[in-house]
């Protein structure tokens, strides 16, 4: 079994429900266990290269560390909090520490689940599945697909534009009015180019008989099997089990708007 | 009267934003005919093609008057999408006509739209890909294909639907010479196997001439100028077409020149090389016009063993003062990358480039681009102000001199217009002119005549010839190389495989084939002439 073969819509559904459950609680153990679970299945059943994964994970790790740092060092002090360490105006309390870690792990648990989905799902498969299982209108789905193809083209165009302006001898913008002017200079040709490309693609799609008709026969059928639902159950089960263990250990509490 | 009228148009008129694109077009196309649609740029050829397919007027806010019928039935009577199965179209730009990621998905997209049962899809996809020779690329992602392969894929998508009419809107515009010929050959083969009506809009006519049986010619106002056989069209109206800025097949062009010089004896202008040779006087001189010889060979740009981002390998070349240089090679050989390296727009990973005796990396950007110009493929990219006058005057010390430059390129009447509001040809001329104001020592151009009609292309080359400094241009057009270049550099897969005069390149068959080039028409003719002489002699 491979994560790549799981029905994309069900996979997405499982991730969304897991995140919703996780967001109900606020403690370090539940997200920690979920992270371990999500990371292990990503590598065992997804066969994802570590390099790819860490590239996506790193920014979240950074955010999480900042979270932990700031909540630990600048806690809201409550009476009765046990102080671990004090230096000048900095006070580290046990409660503050736990809050910080919980917040950080929460961010990371959302991240690991989402990364698992992104790295094991082809965008085309996801859109096909959304059309076939979730009745997403083809007009919208194929529009998104065409747009997705455009992204690298637009980036390329932007670089060309920058070069073309350099050759014309436009000095690098330094002051704010200059920057505004520069943006204006870029936006018009970029938009003109993008609109023209989009028009051409739309025309090409229409010329192949695309009308947005919802009764399509798909060349690639994305199916739903028992394995998909098994995956769904396992995912939700794992998150619930994490909460259960956390409750047994006495850490579990409902989320109460802590930041 | 035609055997069977498949498409007929009556008093067609299309206007867009109060401007008439074409007027009063009445014509008909018979089943399985091959029609060439000709006209100068801006005469509404593509618009007409889109109207036949009923993509227009719905897709734009245009007004279509008159009537078009398909097999006796008015186009309006067809259901949405129904007509698209009967009339397929391949567009000019290989980038923006796909909406899926892989080859098979793209072909399937069309079949899905027409509710073809899933069991049949696979077979139809395989057959269509086989027809164009892409059967081994079924699972390939589209963006890794070359330009030529993309155009073949676009054709396969259309063929899979088994249409009765196929419209090709400048399908070879972005292709190198050999890929263009291959595409035409592919179409001719398929048409033999499974007949369909073909409507072609094209600039480069040589490969098509033998396939075509009817020409429809529009003039610059969008009225129908001529409808008839190619022999009539080019044989009797060639000089007229030329005046309209319409490209001619090279055989016709050559015969016309020869006739004016009194060296062609034939009654009518020929369509085939053999006819041309038969009608030529023996005194006809095939050798090239002698280009201005370079008196002093002073190098201005020296490239020493540069490598760049895995594209270029160990390139060495020198450009001299006042030299006209052509850079040629197949699609994806690295021509644009090299030209950008020479302008310092892409860093080199190894090696050195010296411009006017100073390494490129030591130049201050502002000073460098006063001495070195670069014209990008898309003129719009280089416009930085709100008016044509300001474009020229930008960075000039004596702003008044901008007017004289505008006069030179024939844009003085448009001085206050927004650069984006100009026509394609005018934009191109303006973008070249912006690079001439500083009297740059070296001007690099990326396909300067791309997509231009014959008159504009000619004007651009005239501007470049008058220019004092050196010129280096990337091109797929071997005629340009033959006529204008002093030196030609050939790139193949990131390596420089030839540097020398055009004449010596044409003699080197191995290089010509390896780089997917073609001989210029003059040379082809000369070779054939020599072959005949030998034949007659023995």
pLDDT tens digit sequence for A198-233: 888 999 999 999 988 888 899 999 999 999 999 999
In this structure, of A210-214, A247-251, B273-277, B294-298, the range with the lowest mean pLDDT score is B294-298
B78: left (phi over 0), alpha (psi -120 to 50) or beta: beta
B227: which strand partners?
Answer: B216
pLDDT band at B187 (very low <50, low <70, confident <90, very high): very high
pLDDT band at B451 (very low <50, low <70, confident <90, very high): confident
End-to-end CA distance of chain B: 48
Non-local CB neighbours of B343 within 8 Å, separated by 6+ positions = A167, B372, B374, B444
% pLDDT > 90, chain B: 44
pLDDT in tens, A10-51: 999 999 999 999 999 988 999 999 999 999 999 999 989 999
- Closest in A145, A168, A213 to B394, CB measured: A168
pLDDT band at B377 (very low <50, low <70, confident <90, very high): confident
Topology given in CATH for the domain delimited by B5-233: Rossmann fold (3.40.50)
pLDDT in tens, B315-366: 999 999 889 999 999 887 889 899 999 999 988 999 999 999 999 989 998 8
Test B345 with A166 for CB contact under 8 angstroms. yes
Test B91 with A200 for CB contact under 8 angstroms. yes
Parse chain A into domains and list their residue ranges.
Answer: 3-122+224-248, 143-207
Test B380 with A163 for CB contact under 8 angstroms. no
This prediction's pTM: 0.85
B30: left (phi over 0), alpha (psi -120 to 50) or beta: beta
The alpha-helical segments, DSSP class H, found in B280-364 are: 335-342
H or E element: which one contains A256?
none
Architecture field, domain B299-525: 3-Layer(aba) Sandwich (3.40)
Give the residue on A whose Cα is nearest the Cα of B120.
Answer: A219
pLDDT band at B294 (very low <50, low <70, confident <90, very high): low
Give the residue on A whose Cα is nearest the Cα of B157.
Answer: A208
- Answer whether B381's CB lies under 8 Å from B446's CB: no
Q: How far apart are CA B408 and CA B430, in angstroms?
A: 11
- Closest in B118, B370, B380 to A219, CB measured: B118
Q: Count the neighbouring beta carbons within 10 Å of the beta carbon of residue B536.
A: 7
pLDDT band at B260 (very low <50, low <70, confident <90, very high): confident
Fold equal for B5-233 and B299-525: yes
Q: According to the model, what pLDDT value does residue B127 have?
A: 94
Q: According to the model, what pLDDT value does residue A231 have?
A: 96
Q: According to the model, what pLDDT value does residue B104 have?
A: 94
Output the DSSP codes for A210-242: ----S-PPPSSPPP--HHHHHHHHHHHHHHHHH
Test B101 with A206 for CB contact under 8 angstroms. no
Tell me: ipTM over 0.85. no
Give the mean pLDDT of A124-153: 91
Parse chain B into domains and list their residue ranges.
Answer: 5-233, 249-284, 299-525
Closest-CA distance, B192 to chain A, in angstroms, reads 23
Give the mean pLDDT of A118-123: 93
Q: According to the model, what pLDDT value does residue B292 have?
A: 53
Q: According to the model, what pLDDT value does residue B2 have?
A: 47
* Substitution target from A209, A210, A218 for chain B, most B beta carbons within 10 A: A209
**Statement: residue B14 has pLDDT above 80:** yes
């Amino acid at each position: 079994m491979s994560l790549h073969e799981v029905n994309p819509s069900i996979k997405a559904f499982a991730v969304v429900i897991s995140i919703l459950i996780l967001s109900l609680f606020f403690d370090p153990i539940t997200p920690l266990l979920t992270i371990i679970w999500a990371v292990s299945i990503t590598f065992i059943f997804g066969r994802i290269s570590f390099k790819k994964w860490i590239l996506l994970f790193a920014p979240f790790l950074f955010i999480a560390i900042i979270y932990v740092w700031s909540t630990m060092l600048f806690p809201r002090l409550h009476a009765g909090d046990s102080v671990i360490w004090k230096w000048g105006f900095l006070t580290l309390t046990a409660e503050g520490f736990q809050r910080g870690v919980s917040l950080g792990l929460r961010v990371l648990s959302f991240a690991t689940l989402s990364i698992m989905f992104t790295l094991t799902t082809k965008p085309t498969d996801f859109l096909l599945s959304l059309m076939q299982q979730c009745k997403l209108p083809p007009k919208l789905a194929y529009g998104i697909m065409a747009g997705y193809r455009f992204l690298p083209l637009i980036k390329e165009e932007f670089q060309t534009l920058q070069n073309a302006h350099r050759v014309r001898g436009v000095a690098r913008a330094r002051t704010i009015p200059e920057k505004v002017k520069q943006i204006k200079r870029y936006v018009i040709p970029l938009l003109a180019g993008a609109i023209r490309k989009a028009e051409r693609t739309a025309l090409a799609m229409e010329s192949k008989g695309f009308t947005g008709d919802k009764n399509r026969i798909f060349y690639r059928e994305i199916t739903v099997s028992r394995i998909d639902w098994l995956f769904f159950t396992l995912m939700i089960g794992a998150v619930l089990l994490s909460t259960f263990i956390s409750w047994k250990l006495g850490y579990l509490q409902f989320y109460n708007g802590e930041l | 009267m035609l055997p069977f009228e498949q498409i007929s148009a009556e008093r067609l008129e299309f206007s867009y934003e109060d401007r008439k694109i074409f007027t009063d077009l009445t014509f008909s196309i018979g089943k399985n005919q091959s029609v060439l649609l000709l006209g100068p740029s801006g005469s509404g050829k593509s618009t007409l093609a889109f109207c036949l397919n009923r993509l227009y007027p719905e897709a734009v806010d245009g007004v279509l008057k008159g009537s078009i019928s398909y097999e006796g039935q008015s186009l309006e009577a067809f259901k949405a999408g129904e007509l698209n199965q009967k009339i397929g179209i391949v567009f000019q730009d290989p980038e923006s006509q796909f909406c899926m990621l892989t080859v098979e998905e793209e072909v399937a997209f069309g079949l899905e739209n027409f509710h073809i049962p899933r069991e049949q899809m696979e077979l139809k996809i395989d057959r269509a890909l086989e027809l164009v020779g892409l059967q081994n690329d079924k699972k390939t992602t589209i963006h890794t294909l070359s330009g030529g392969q993309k155009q073949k894929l676009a054709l396969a998508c259309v063929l899979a639907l088994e249409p009765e009419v196929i419209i090709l809107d400048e399908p070879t515009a972005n292709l190198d010479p050999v890929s263009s010929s291959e595409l035409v050959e592919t179409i001719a083969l398929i048409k033999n196997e499974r007949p369909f009506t073909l409507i072609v809009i094209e600039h480069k006519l040589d490969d098509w001439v033998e396939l075509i049986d009817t020409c429809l010619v529009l003039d610059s106002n969008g009225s129908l100028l001529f409808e008839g056989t190619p022999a009539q069209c080019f044989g009797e109206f060639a000089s007229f077409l030329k005046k309209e800025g319409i490209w001619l097949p090279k055989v016709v062009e050559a015969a016309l020149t020869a006739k004016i010089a009194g060296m062609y004896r034939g009654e009518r202008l020929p369509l085939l090389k053999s006819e041309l040779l038969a009608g030529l006087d023996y005194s006809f001189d095939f050798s090239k016009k002698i280009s201005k010889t370079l008196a002093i060979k002073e190098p201005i740009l020296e490239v020493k063993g540069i490598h760049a981002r895995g594209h270029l390998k160990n390139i060495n070349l020198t450009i001299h003062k006042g030299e006209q240089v052509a850079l040629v090679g197949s699609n994806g050989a690295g021509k644009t990358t090299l030209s950008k390296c020479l302008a310092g727009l892409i860093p080199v990973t190894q090696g050195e480039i010296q411009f006017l005796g100073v390494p490129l990396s030591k130049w201050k950007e502002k000073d460098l681009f006063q001495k070195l110009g670069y014209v990008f493929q898309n003129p719009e990219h280089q416009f930085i102000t709100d008016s044509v006058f300001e474009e020229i005057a930008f960075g000039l010390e004596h702003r008044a001199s901008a007017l004289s430059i505008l006069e030179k390129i024939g844009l003085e009447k448009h001085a206050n217009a927004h650069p984006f509001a100009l026509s394609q040809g005018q934009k191109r001329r303006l973008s070249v002119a912006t690079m001439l104001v500083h009297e740059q020592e070296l001007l690099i151009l990326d396909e300067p005549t791309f997509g231009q009609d014959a008159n504009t292309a000619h004007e651009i080359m005239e501007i470049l010839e008058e220019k004092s400094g050196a010129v280096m241009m990337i091109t797929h057009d071997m005629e340009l190389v033959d006529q204008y270049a002093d030196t030609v550099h050939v790139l193949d897969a990131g390596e420089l495989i030839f540097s020398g005069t055009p004449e010596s390149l044409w003699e080197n068959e191995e290089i010509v084939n390896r780089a997917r080039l073609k001989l210029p028409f003059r040379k082809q003719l000369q070779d054939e002439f020599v072959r005949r002489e030998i034949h007659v002699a023995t």
